[in-house]
Structure 1
C-alpha cells in the first residue's frame, strides 16, 4: 500500500473524529458496539490503522491513527467513569443484571417464607392430630365410665311407608 498524502490523512482524521463524536453520543449502527472496530468501519479506515506497526528492523512505530484510538478510548473511559453508558446494549445488560439481582433476592425471601410456612403447617397438623387423639381418648373414657346409653339415629324408623 502506498503512502497517503497529507490532505488524505487530514480528511481521514476528520472522518474518524466525526465518527468518534457520533459513537460517543450513542449513535451506534444496529448490531454494533462502541469500540475501535465500529469506529474504523464508520470512518472508512482499516482497524489496523489504530495499532502500532513493526518496522523491518524490528522497531515499532505508531499506527497512522493510533493517537485517535487512544483519544477515543480515553474519552470512552471518562464517560464510563462519569456514569454515562454510551452503548445501549451495555445499559440493557446492566439493567438486566440489576433486575436479576432483585429477583434473586426476592426468590430467596420467598423460599425462606415458604420454608417457614411449611414448618408452621407441620406444627399445626401435629397439634390437630394430637387434639383429635385426645378427643377420641376422652370419648372412649366417657363411654366406659358413663351409665348413659348412646342413642342411635332413629331416621329409619320415622320414614313414611
Structure 2
C-alpha cells in the first residue's frame, strides 16, 4: 500500500522524534536503544528501515548518532551501560581472584619450605646434643645443704 507524501513526512517526523527520545535515554519498558524499539515508538513497521525501504536513511542516521554517543562515552540505554559496567567489574574480580590464587600458592609453598627448614634445624639440634659429652658443660652442685643464717 502506497502512502502519500504528507503521510511519509509525518512518519519521518515521528521517527526523528522517536530517535531523539531514544538517544536522550527515554527507553520504553522492555525496549532498548535499537531499531526494533525505534520502529515501535514511531508506530512504523520495522522492515521499512532495511534495504532500499523508505526509511533506511533514518536507520543509518540513528545508528550514526548512536555510534557517536558511544564513542563519546555516553550510553543512552541504561541496560547496556549496566551490562558493560558489570562486564568490567567481572573482569576486575577475575583478575583479583587470579591474584589471590597466586598469592595462596606462593604462601603455601613458603609454608612448606619453612616447615622443612624447621624440621631440618630440629634434627641438627638433636644431632649436636647427642654428639657432645653430656657432662662437659655441667657443673655439679653440692650435695649437702648449707645452713642459711637469718630469718626465714
TM over 0.5: yes
User: C-alpha offsets along residues 37-57 of structure 1, whole Å, 9 cap, x if unaligned?
Assistant: 1100111110011123xxxxx
Three-state SS of the structure 1 residue aligned to 2:75 is coil
Q: CA deviation at 1:133?
A: 1.3
Partner of 2:44: 45
Q: Gapped runs of 5+ residues in structure 1?
A: 53-61, 149-161
Verify: 1:109 aligned to 2:99, yes or no.
Answer: yes
1:123 partner SS = helix
Match of 2:126 in 1: 136
Aligned positions, number: 137
Q: Decide which of 72, 89, 92 is 2:79's aligned counterpart.
A: 89
Runs (5+) with no aligned partner, structure 2:
137-152
Q: TM-score, normalised by structure 2?
A: 0.80
Q: Distance in 1 between matches of 2:54 and 2:134?
A: 111
Residue number in structure 2 paired with 1:29: 28
2:17 aligned partner: 18
Secondary structure in structure 2 of the residue aligned to 1:93 = helix
Alignment root-mean-square deviation, CA: 2.0
SS of equivalent to 1:63: coil
For the residue of structure 2 that corresponds to 1:76, the secondary structure is helix
**Match for 1:146 among 131, 134, 143?**
134
TM-score by length of 1: 0.76
Greater mean alpha carbon deviation, residues 2-11 or residues 35-44: 2-11
How far the C-alpha of 1:147 sits from its partner, in A, is: 5.0
